[in-house]
Structure 1
Amino acid sequence: MLTRLRHWAEALARETHAVWIAARDPRTPFAAKALGVVVAGYALSPIDLIPDFVPVLGLLDDLLIVPAGFWLFKRMVPEAVMADARSQANRADRPRGHTATIVIALIWVLIAGALAWQIAGFVSW
């Protein structure tokens, strides 16, 4: 079972890389490019929308958001583009996702700052 789980994780990493490659392909429509960058960045990022320590919901977002994003992306992209991206992903090293991590962390900081700003506006000291 552990071997099967490892193969599944490797396939998911390869597919994430293929989505990243296809999102940067000039044959990909703009809306699909935007979705592909977001989905691949989210899948590669260690920061989740709902933290994993939150019971059930923390893992549910990974089990629903990422596969749904992949499914929608694949429907928006021509099959030839995905086939080329998959072959490139099979031959290439995996991206590390440091840029996506930084961008997502900055988004969280901005959201937290905006919420703090709103809360501070409602509280009179």
Structure 2
Amino acid sequence: MTWETVAGIAAGLLLAYAVLLILLWWYARRHPETVTMKDALRLLPDLLRLIRRLAADRKLAVGVRVRLVLLLAYLLSPIDLVPDFIPVIGYADDAVIVALVLRSVLKRAGPEALERHWPGSRPGLDVILKAAAPVRRRP
């Protein structure tokens, strides 16, 4: 490989990474009502227990459980799409990925599965359901 090819690949990866950062920043700015950082930190232990319990539930489809196991692996991994030391968007990638996976779980398993396995309070579950709810388009 020539240095031009390597430079082109590196530039393409940096551009894709920059676009991802901009999209995460944009999502966090457009949806501040979803979950604040303070709420997310309070809910984190219950959320991790929920994901673990859902992943172990044999009543759920295998595809749903695989997604949950992959989500746990991503959350426990020290490697992130966006490093956590970057203000605001450092944790936004984790929040967006959790919301997307829980949204797919809600579609496949229904809210009953989340309610059945939720270890925390009802207001905490309401925040999780709100964060994972499909985005409604304005007419």
Report the TM-score when normalising by structure 1: 0.51
The residue aligned with 1:26 is 58
Query: Aligned partner of 1:80: which letter?
Result: E
Distance in 1 (CA, whole Å) between partners of 2:95 and 2:60 is 25
Q: How much does 1:65 deviate?
A: 1.9
Matched residues, percent identical?
Answer: 24
The residue aligned with 2:120 is 90
Query: Aligned partner of 2:47: which letter?
Result: E
Maintained 8 Å contact 1:28/1:78? no
Query: Aligned partner of 1:13: which letter?
Result: P
TM-superposition CA deviations, 1:56-82 (whole Å, max 9, x none) = 764442242222122222222243322
Distance in 1 (CA, whole Å) between partners of 2:37 and 2:90 is 20
Higher relative contact order (CA 8 A, sep 6+): 1
Q: How much does 1:8 deviate?
A: 3.5
Q: How much does 1:84 deviate?
A: 1.7
Aligned with residue 36 of structure 1, among 50, 68, 90: 68
The residue aligned with 2:40 is 8
Distance in 2 (CA, whole Å) between partners of 1:85 and 1:60 is 25
Query: Aligned partner of 2:62: which letter?
Result: F
Maintained 8 Å contact 1:50/1:58? yes
Distance in 2 (CA, whole Å) between partners of 1:5 and 1:57 is 11
Q: How many residues align?
A: 86
Change (3 A) 1:54 1:70: same
The residue aligned with 2:127 is none
Unaligned runs of 5+ in 2: 1-35, 122-139
Distance in 1 (CA, whole Å) between partners of 2:38 and 2:96 is 20
Change (3 A) 1:8 1:63: closer
Report the TM-score when normalising by structure 2: 0.47
Distance in 2 (CA, whole Å) between partners of 1:77 and 1:10 is 25
The residue aligned with 1:74 is 106
RMSD: 3.1
Change (3 A) 1:90 1:55: closer
Maintained 8 Å contact 1:50/1:57? yes
